[in-house]
């Protein structure tokens, strides 16, 4: 058979089986048979590179990680949906529709669909081929995440029988529950923080810069909308027909949608799925109700935020009542002391819960939660339950308000929090709760650069009590290391292989000894002082010359240093004021670690490019932590504060942004996507 014809045939077969497997969950062939088809195609394409096309199933994962995502504008804004929380609000929606369309008592035909709890996506097809995938962003502008979208096997790279010109298909990317559970199991084993729910995990994946990692997450998608700015005529007459059409083109459509004659049928559908949703392999947080007749939709139009022809019914969160036995504090690996509730075990939405997050001390005070209270607990979209409120009528007379401890729950050091922050943190670099992560950082390449002292060895050293602080590392002897069993990950797989350290132990000891001579700037960075990144560490070293010079500098002198803002300065002071840290530095000096710099002296102070600008950060940034973002702003003379006001210059908006974004819009504060922010600080 001629290769061109065979390639075409293979691609069609592969897409057919992808569709059976990833969309309909009804495979017709085994994984092995599928792989064989894919390998044959790969081989043929390798032999005939000129026949490779971008919509070939072999082209799902692009070769290399992408740069930051470019901002793209949506042809038509991606609106959000108004919400209805009960039957009455659904009937009120129906009234508005009938009134708006002057329909009198004629019942309206609706389509009810499950509301997928994922993140919205806009797929652009041109001549039947997928040419772009973009996130919703702020609705007007989103981020181009095409390389990541292409890895989602449910999304066809080319459509079967669709019209030729350019149009947009909208839908939702989500993480199936099975994939979510697998990912969290893996994270638990690797001691990484767990995702609270599949949506967060999906959002994180979509904004990852490495498509090969995204491919491994196992994302999926559903589509439900078609937007064609210039060719309304090509749309069918009803939404139901559109959904059938999308399916026939090979697009994934959630199959439980139903045409409803009038709002009462919609209400019945909502009631059915309030319980039925637990059987699904994806999270749904409600039902979307849409007017079926597309011409009628046009007549109804939209407000600035929502279409008038649709609404989202939100399933009630499942709640239970139980006793709040005790409020305890957990210490995370960054030193964050977070209160949590110890509950009288209670069964809620499929599992028994005995603990719930309480977020922070302010939240507890606002809700006035007290030990001994009977409380309402809730599982909303999250796997982790939360405490909603106390039932005041059941409060024991002797219950007293809770106060946040002032000492770290793990080491007893005094807790501190940044101005305008809610989280209390332990500043002791040797705190046992922090030690694992802080020691890994201490040894990392940009810090003390101790090759061989990685995650696995650090674990062993701490477990065997060979190291209780950074300075203990300098007392290690090769004989103590030889018998440790470390489990490095194989470079090209996820597999961990345990092995004895043996002679390598001696190399590690040599590396440790060598690191004593490092410049002060590396040591300052390695100490893991909050907000002090590599750049700030270098600046501090250059300006103050010795460790003592930095630690003894008064707050005012620190603040005056070029590129050191008030947050960094306060953090350095807090570190220096913690007695454990002073003792640690002395111990390091006694071990022979260099405490001076050979870098040129820092020149006089000067204002940075962001001088006078105030920033607020919200949501999760994908390519940097909040601390890194704050440090970057301050290094350029800008200021970071916790809440949005009229004086705020910019709001940097990450994924899952909350009320700060609403506030910024209200006040007309300029918002920046992560991409825009990075351009600003380049
Ligand atoms: S229709 C004009 N249908 O919910 C808005 N949205 O809360 C058209 N969503 O931004 C949206 N499942 O990301 C629609 N079956 C569904 C949906 C759905 C989930 C999301 C969508 C939207 C958000 C609004």
For 658, the token pair is: 């909350």
Binning pLDDT at 50, 70 and 90, where does residue 487 land?
confident
Q: How far apart are the first and last CA of the chain?
A: 54
At residue 589, what are phi and psi to the nearest 5 degrees?
Answer: -65, -45
Q: Where are the alpha helices (DSSP H) in 418-565?
A: 432-443, 455-463, 478-482, 504-515, 520-526, 534-544, 547-551, 555-560
The dihedral over CA atoms of 642, 645, 649, 655, expressed in degrees to the nearest 10, equals 50
Query: What pairs with residue 577 in β-bridges?
Result: none
Q: What is the pLDDT of residue 232?
A: 54
Which mutation among 312, 313, 655 tests ligand 1's pocket best, with the greatest number of atoms within 8 A of CB?
A: 312
The distance from CA 633 to its chain's CA centroid, rounded to whole angstroms, is 21
Catalytic residue among 115, 290, 314, 542: 115
Does 115 qualify as catalytic in the annotation?
yes
In a domain, 424, yes or no: no
Atom of ligand 1 nearest to the CA of 312: 7
Q: What is the pLDDT of residue 382?
A: 54
Q: What is the pLDDT of residue 313?
A: 96
Q: Kindly list the distances between the CA atom of residue 229 and the CA atoms of 57, 74, 166, 168, in Å, as whole numbers in the listed order.
A: 29, 10, 9, 9
Mean pLDDT across the stretch 496-508? 81
Distance 249 CA to ligand 1 centre (A): 21
Q: What is the pLDDT of residue 195?
A: 83
Number of domains in the chain: 6
Mean pLDDT estimate for the chain: 90
Pocket of ligand 1 (CB under 6 A): 79-81, 113, 115-116, 120, 172, 224-225, 288, 307, 310, 312
Is 116:282 a contact under the CB 8 Å cutoff?
yes
Nearest to 150 by CA among 129, 178, 176, 126: 129
| Domain containing residue 558: CATH number | 1.10.150.20
Distance 238 CA to ligand 1 centre (A): 17
Over residues 201-212, the pLDDT tens digits come to: 898 888 888 888
63 contact partners, CB below 8 Å, separation of at least 6: none
Boundary-marking domain end, from 470, 485, 515: 515
Nearest to 280 by CA among 448, 113, 69: 113
Distance 340 CA to ligand 1 centre (A): 33
In a domain, 173, yes or no: yes
Residue 601 pLDDT more than 90?
no
Boundary-marking domain end, from 289, 314, 339: 314
Over residues 415-465, the pLDDT tens digits come to: 999 877 889 999 999 999 999 999 999 999 999 999 999 888 998 999 899
Atom 16 in ligand 1: residue holding the nearest Cα = 115
Question: Can you state the percent helix, strand and coil of the chain, rounding each to 5?
Answer: 40, 20, 40
Mean pLDDT across the stretch 16-43? 90
Over residues 643-681, the pLDDT tens digits come to: 888 888 899 998 888 788 888 888 888 889 898 898 888
Q: Kindly list the distances between the CA atom of residue 240 and the CA atoms of 7, 232, 258, in Å, as whole numbers in the listed order.
A: 35, 16, 8
- Asked if residue 629 and residue 503 are part of one domain, the reply reads no
- Asked if residue 122 and residue 215 are part of one domain, the reply reads yes
Over residues 175-199, the pLDDT tens digits come to: 999 999 999 888 877 767 778 788 8
Give the residue with greater pLDDT, 62 vs 248: 248
In a domain, 65, yes or no: no
Query: What pairs with residue 342 in β-bridges?
Result: 326, 355
Per DSSP, the three-state class of 650 is strand
User: Which residue has 């201490």 as its token pair?
Assistant: 442
Atom 22 in ligand 1: residue holding the nearest Cα = 80
117 contact partners, CB below 8 Å, separation of at least 6: 174, 197, 198, 199, 282, 283, 284, 285, 381
Is 426:335 a contact under the CB 8 Å cutoff?
yes
Which mutation among 74, 78, 80, 81 tests ligand 1's pocket best, with the greatest number of atoms within 8 A of CB?
A: 81
Q: What is the pLDDT of residue 604?
A: 46
573 contact partners, CB below 8 Å, separation of at least 6: 555, 558
Which mutation among 135, 224, 273 tests ligand 1's pocket best, with the greatest number of atoms within 8 A of CB?
A: 224
Q: What is the pLDDT of residue 25?
A: 82
- Asked if residue 302 and residue 260 are part of one domain, the reply reads yes
Query: What pairs with residue 544 in β-bridges?
Result: none
Q: What is the pLDDT of residue 214?
A: 86
In a domain, 7, yes or no: yes
| Domain containing residue 264: CATH number | 3.30.470.30
Task: For residues 159 and 161, give the distance between their C-alpha atoms in angstroms, rounded to a whole number.
Answer: 6
Query: What pairs with residue 259 in β-bridges?
Result: 111
Query: What pairs with residue 119 in β-bridges?
Result: 173
- Asked if residue 328 and residue 450 are part of one domain, the reply reads no
- Asked if residue 533 and residue 495 are part of one domain, the reply reads no
Is 221:67 a contact under the CB 8 Å cutoff?
no
Is 79:139 a contact under the CB 8 Å cutoff?
yes
Boundary-marking domain end, from 347, 377, 394: 394
Mean pLDDT across the stretch 308-316? 94
- Asked if residue 640 and residue 592 are part of one domain, the reply reads no
Sheet of 639-640: strands edge to edge? Answer: 639-640, 614-618, 650-653, 670-673
In a domain, 494, yes or no: yes
- Dihedral sign of CA atoms 47, 51, 53, 58 in order: negative
In a domain, 403, yes or no: no
| Domain containing residue 352: CATH number | 2.40.50.140
Which mutation among 110, 120, 282 tests ligand 1's pocket best, with the greatest number of atoms within 8 A of CB?
A: 120
Is 412:426 a contact under the CB 8 Å cutoff?
no
- Asked if residue 151 and residue 95 are part of one domain, the reply reads yes
- Asked if residue 596 and residue 649 are part of one domain, the reply reads no
Residue 231 pLDDT more than 80?
no
The distance from CA 485 to its chain's CA centroid, rounded to whole angstroms, is 33
- 416 burial class (0-12, 13-18, 19+ CB within 10 angstroms)? buried
- Asked if residue 126 and residue 39 are part of one domain, the reply reads no
Which long-range contacts (C-beta less than 8 Å, at least 24 apart) are formed by 53-56? Answer: 54/129, 54/157, 55/129, 55/130, 55/157, 55/158, 56/7, 56/11, 56/157
| Three-state secondary structure string covering 245-285 | HHHHCCCCCCCCCEEEECHHHHHHHHHHHHHHHHHCCCCEE
Mean pLDDT across the stretch 351-358? 88
Q: What is the pLDDT of residue 490?
A: 57
Atom of ligand 1 nearest to the CA of 113: 15
Is 370:324 a contact under the CB 8 Å cutoff?
yes
Record the pTM: 0.61
- Asked if residue 463 and residue 351 are part of one domain, the reply reads no
For 65, the token pair is: 């990680």
Over residues 103-115, the pLDDT tens digits come to: 888 899 999 999 9
| Domain containing residue 620: CATH number | 3.40.50.10190
Atom 18 in ligand 1: residue holding the nearest Cα = 115
Cα angle at 119 between 95 and 200, to 5 degrees? 125
Over residues 535-565, the pLDDT tens digits come to: 999 999 999 999 999 999 999 899 888 878 8
Distance 246 CA to ligand 1 centre (A): 16
- Asked if residue 116 and residue 43 are part of one domain, the reply reads no
Nearest to 375 by CA among 315, 314, 422, 326: 326
pLDDT > 70: percent of the chain: 95
| Domain containing residue 45: CATH number | 1.10.287.610
Mean pLDDT across the stretch 62-91? 84
- Dihedral sign of CA atoms 425, 428, 434, 439 in order: positive
- Asked if residue 552 and residue 656 are part of one domain, the reply reads no
80 contact partners, CB below 8 Å, separation of at least 6: 139, 305, 306
Is 569:558 a contact under the CB 8 Å cutoff?
yes
User: Which residue range is the domain that position 595 belongs to?
Assistant: 520-603
Q: What is the pLDDT of residue 613?
A: 83
Query: What pairs with residue 174 in β-bridges?
Result: 220
Distance 486 CA to ligand 1 centre (A): 48
Q: What is the pLDDT of residue 563?
A: 79
In a domain, 423, yes or no: no
Identify how many contiguous H helices and E strands the chain contains and give both numbers: 24, 24
Distance 226 CA to ligand 1 centre (A): 12
Distance 303 CA to ligand 1 centre (A): 16
In a domain, 69, yes or no: no
């Amino acid at each position: 058979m001629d290769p061109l014809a065979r390639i075409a045939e293979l691609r069609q077969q592969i897409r057919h089986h992808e569709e059976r497997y990833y969309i309909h969950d009804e495979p017709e062939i085994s994984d092995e048979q599928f792989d064989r088809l894919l390998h044959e195609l790969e081989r043929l394409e390798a032999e005939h590179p000129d026949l490779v096309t971008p919509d070939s199933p072999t082209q799902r994962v692009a070769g290399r990680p992408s740069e930051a995502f470019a901002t793209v504008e949506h042809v038509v804004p991606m609106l959000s949906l108004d919400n209805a929380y009960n039957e009455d609000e659904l009937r009120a929606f129906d009234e508005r529709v009938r009134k708006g369309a002057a329909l009198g008592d004629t019942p309206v035909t609706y389509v009810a669909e499950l509301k997928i709890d994922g993140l919205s996506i806009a797929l652009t097809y041109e001549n039947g081929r997928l040419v772009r995938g973009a996130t919703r962003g702020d609705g007007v502008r989103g981020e181009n995440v095409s390389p990541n979208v292409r890895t989602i096997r449910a999304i066809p790279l080319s459509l079967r029988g669709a019209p030729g010109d350019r149009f947009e298909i909208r839908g939702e990317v989500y993480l199936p529950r099975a994939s979510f559970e697998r990912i969290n199991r893996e994270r638990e084993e690797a001691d990484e923080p767990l995702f609270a729910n599949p949506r967060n995990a999906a959002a994180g994946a979509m904004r990852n810069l490495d498509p090969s990692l995204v491919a491994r997450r196992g994302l999926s998608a559903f589509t439900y909308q078609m937007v064609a700015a210039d060719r309304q005529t090509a749309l069918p007459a009803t939404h139901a027909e559109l959904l059938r059409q999308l399916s026939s083109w090979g697009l994934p459509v959630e199959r439980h949608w139903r045409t409803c004659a009038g709002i009462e049928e919609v209400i019945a559908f909502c009631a059915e799925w309030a319980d039925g949703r637990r059987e699904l392999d994806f999270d749904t947080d409600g039902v979307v109700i849409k007017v079926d007749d597309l011409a009628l939709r046009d007549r109804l139009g939209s407000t600035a935020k929502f279409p008038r022809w649709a609404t989202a019914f939100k399933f009630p969160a499942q709640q239970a009542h139980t006793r709040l036995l005790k409020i305890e504090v957990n210490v995370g690996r960054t030193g964050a002391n977070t209160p949590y509730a110890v509950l009288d075990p209670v069964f809620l939405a499929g599992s028994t819960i005995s603990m719930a997050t309480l977020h922070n001390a302010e939240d507890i005070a606002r809700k006035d939660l007290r030990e001994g209270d009977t409380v309402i607990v809730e599982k909303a979209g999250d796997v982790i339950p939360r405490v909603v409120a106390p039932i005041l009528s059941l409060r024991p007379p002797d219950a007293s308000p809770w106060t946040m401890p002032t000492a770290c729950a793990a080491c007893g050091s005094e807790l501190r929090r940044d101005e305008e922050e809610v989280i209390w943190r332990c500043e002791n670099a040797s705190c046992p709760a922090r030690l694992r992560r802080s020691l890994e950082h201490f040894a990392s390449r940009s810090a003390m650069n101790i090759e061989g002292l990685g995650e696995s060895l650090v674990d062993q050293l701490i477990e065997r009590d060979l190291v209780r602080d950074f300075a203990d590392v300098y007392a290690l002897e090769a004989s103590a290391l030889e018998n440790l069993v470390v489990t490095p990950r194989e470079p090209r797989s996820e597999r961990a292989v345990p092995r004895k350290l043996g002679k390598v132990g001696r190399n590690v000891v040599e590396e440790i000894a060598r690191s004593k001579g490092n410049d002060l700037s590396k040591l300052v960075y390695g100490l893991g002082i909050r907000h002090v990144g590599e750049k700030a560490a270098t600046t501090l070293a250059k300006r103050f010359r010795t460790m003592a010079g930095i630690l003894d500098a008064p707050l005012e002198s620190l603040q005056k240093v070029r590129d050191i803002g008030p947050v960094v300065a306060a953090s350095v002071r807090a570190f220096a004021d913690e007695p454990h840290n002073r003792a640690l530095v002395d111990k390091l000096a006694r071990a022979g670690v260099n405490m001076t710099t050979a870098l040129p002296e820092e020149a006089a102070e000067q204002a940075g490019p962001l001088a006078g600008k105030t920033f607020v950060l919200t949501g999760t940034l994908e390519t940097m932590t909040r601390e890194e973002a704050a440090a970057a702003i301050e290094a350029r003379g800008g200021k970071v504060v916790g809440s949005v006001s009229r004086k705020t210059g910019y709001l940097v908006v990450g994924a899952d942004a909350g009320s700060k974004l609403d506030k910024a819009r209200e006040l007309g504060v300029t918002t920046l996507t992560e991409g825009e922010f990075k351009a600003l600080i380049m």
